[in-house]
């Protein structure tokens, strides 16, 4: 039977991009640092916050007349935002709609993704 040695590193404070805080018997999990890293990665540090992410009645299409964006860049952004859904359920609807256009993303989709955060 193998023997494993373990070291107690104390209480967890950061794991897989999630920050963990404890306060009076409560545990808070958030991704503030990860969200800031996303903003920097996609040059969106100057984006303004908005209360309404995306209208549920708004429709997006594959051919909207705007220029196409690089598929890999858009795919990476949507992937990063999907991981952020773990602690930010408010962006779930907008990101799920945008993920439908990964193979045919245009400037319009990119603007909606930037607004989602």
- What is the reported pLDDT for 40? 92
pLDDT band at 26 (very low <50, low <70, confident <90, very high): very high
Distance of CA 47 to the CA centre of its chain: 14
Domain map of the chain by residue range?
14-45+66-116
Tens digit of pLDDT for each residue in 88-98? Answer: 888 888 888 88
Instruction: Give the tens place of pLDDT for each residue, 99-111.
Output: 887 776 766 656 6
What gap in Å lies between CA 74 and CA 69, rounded to an integer? Answer: 7
């Amino acid at each position: 039977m193998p023997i494993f040695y373990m070291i107690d590193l104390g209480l967890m404070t950061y794991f897989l991009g999630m920050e963990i805080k404890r306060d009076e018997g409560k545990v808070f999990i958030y991704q503030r640092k990860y969200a800031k890293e996303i903003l920097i990665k996609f040059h969106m540090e100057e984006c303004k916050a908005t209360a309404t992410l995306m209208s549920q009645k708004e429709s997006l299409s594959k051919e909207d007349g705007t220029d196409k964006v690089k598929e890999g860049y858009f795919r990476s952004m949507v992937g990063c935002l999907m991981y952020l859904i773990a602690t930010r359920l408010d962006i779930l609807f907008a990101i799920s709609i945008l993920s439908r256009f990964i193979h045919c993303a245009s400037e319009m989709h990119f603007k909606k993704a930037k607004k989602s955060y």
